[in-house]
Chain A
């Protein structure tokens, strides 16, 4: 699967014409997005260039430890980012950190153990980034839902506790719905993949000159890997986080 193409800087510069078109449309229709378009373009150039150099460094050093360090940093910042979406869940950072770490380690460990990818930076860095990024989105969505549902279902949960149900039993319908909402986006997009949109990896590989067969196969592997990652992270995050709403005596904490 080693394909490579060379992209000249002038080609990148020329594509800015389309940015100018977007800005012109915004100005003409008074959508008031010109400033945002400018900022977005600037940030994309700076951020991607920096990431490019970081990845080049990691590929050059070719150390598995450096890759693991990078993945650990991704997990840490992923958990911080997801925490903002899960504001209604008390102390959500711990569950998110564990969820992302488990999703990353579990899925990458499996694809390497199954011999699908070699344990080299060239595979682990991009796949790890996708796995952790998707795990972050899924666990953030799941905990966001969990926070809303626990607030809405407070009366029903306490009435169930009043029957002598455990916290786990009383929260079960809520946990189930939260897990579902964390996973459903990727499940749905996996259903429609190729029909409604071409996923990024496939597009990238086709552009880079790979055969369509290889592009499709790699894309399938990645989709299935992401499904695994998303389910591990959403499950771990919800199962750890729902406990934070209860005391050890199976009482609902005051909001």
Chain B
């Protein structure tokens, strides 16, 4: 099993944003759906230890998540947040930064292509990209680390239909390659069905 969650609870400001949540997430592509406010983003942040649960246990490939060193874990389990947040500079400098952190060789062109961007984007300044292009650059940056798992938080929520389709096409291709497991959070059940081998509903 990729992730095993048992009775997981998270409190924020004295309120439970996630309570006694249990689920099994297999290898492959899993889409988690549910209305906004049920703690989908919080759940995703738990999976690469950007936050830790207040209650319950999470396992990653059979080992307790809290026994993983957070920095090493995050290079294996890469999270792409809901809104793009690139570092200042070019797309390539962002990719290079991520690859160096993970100690990976970087093939700029191939990495961009996997995220649905052509090689002309390498030299583009991130400040001049549209939100959709920035989101694909975020995806490319995550892929530059050659992670085992990609966590995607509503990757198309801020995008128009055309930009959404491009991201979905890139994700569909990644799913076909089967080199990386995908856990995707979405409020759109249609998108969940399009992109997930299995769909997990949050109450």
Contact A155 B81 (CB under 8 A): yes
Contact B51 A164 (CB under 8 A): no
**Distance of A250 Cα from B101 Cα, bound (Å):** 15
Q: Check if A162 is an interface residue, CB within 8 A of chain B.
A: yes
Contact B49 A163 (CB under 8 A): no
Known contacts A155-B85, A156-B85, A251-B52; is-contact A162 B74 (Cβ 8 Å): yes
Q: Among A163, A166, A251, which residue has the most Cβ atoms of chain B within 10 A?
A: A163
Chain A-chain B contacts (Cβ-Cβ < 8 Å), number? 61
Task: Give the bracket for the number of chain A residues in contact with chain B.
Answer: 10 to 19
Contact B70 A251 (CB under 8 A): yes
**Distance of A116 Cα from B18 Cα, bound (Å):** 64
Known contacts A156-B85, A173-B88, A250-B70; is-contact A162 B52 (Cβ 8 Å): no
Instruction: Please name the residue on chain A nearest to B48 by beta carbon.
Output: A162
**Distance of A254 Cα from B83 Cα, bound (Å):** 18
Q: Which of A120-168 contact B (CB under 8 A)?
A: 155-156, 158-166
Contact A162 B50 (CB under 8 A): yes
Q: Check if B72 is an interface residue, CB within 8 A of chain A.
A: yes
Q: Check if B58 is an interface residue, CB within 8 A of chain A.
A: no
Contact A159 B101 (CB under 8 A): no
Q: Of the candidates B70, B79, B98, B102, which one forms a contact with A249 in the assembled complex, judged by CB atoms under 8 Å apart?
A: B70
- A82 → B minimal CB distance (Å): 29
Count of B interface residues, CB-CB < 8 Å? 30
Q: Check if B181 is an interface residue, CB within 8 A of chain A.
A: no
- A106 → B minimal CB distance (Å): 33
Known contacts A155-B81, A155-B85; is-contact A163 B138 (Cβ 8 Å): no
Q: Check if B29 is an interface residue, CB within 8 A of chain A.
A: no
Instruction: Please name the residue on chain B nearest to A162 by beta carbon.
Output: B79
Q: Which residues of A contact B88 (CB under 8 A)?
A: 173
Instruction: Please name the residue on chain B nearest to A248 by beta carbon.
Output: B70
Instruction: Please name the residue on chain B nearest to A250 by beta carbon.
Output: B70
Q: 1/0 per residue B1-29: CB within 8 Å of A?
A: 00000000000110000000000000000
**Distance of A158 Cα from B44 Cα, bound (Å):** 13
Contact B50 A163 (CB under 8 A): no
Residues of chain B at the chain A interface (Cβ within 8 Å): 12-13, 48-52, 70-75, 78-81, 83, 85-88, 97-98, 101-102, 138, 141-142, 145
In the A-B complex, the 4 residue pairs with the smallest Cβ-Cβ separation, listed nearest first, are: A164-B75, A159-B85, A164-B74, A156-B85
Interface CB pairs A-B, < 8 A, 12: A158-B81, A159-B85, A163-B74, A163-B97, A164-B102, A164-B145, A165-B101, A166-B71, A169-B101, A173-B88, A249-B52, A251-B49
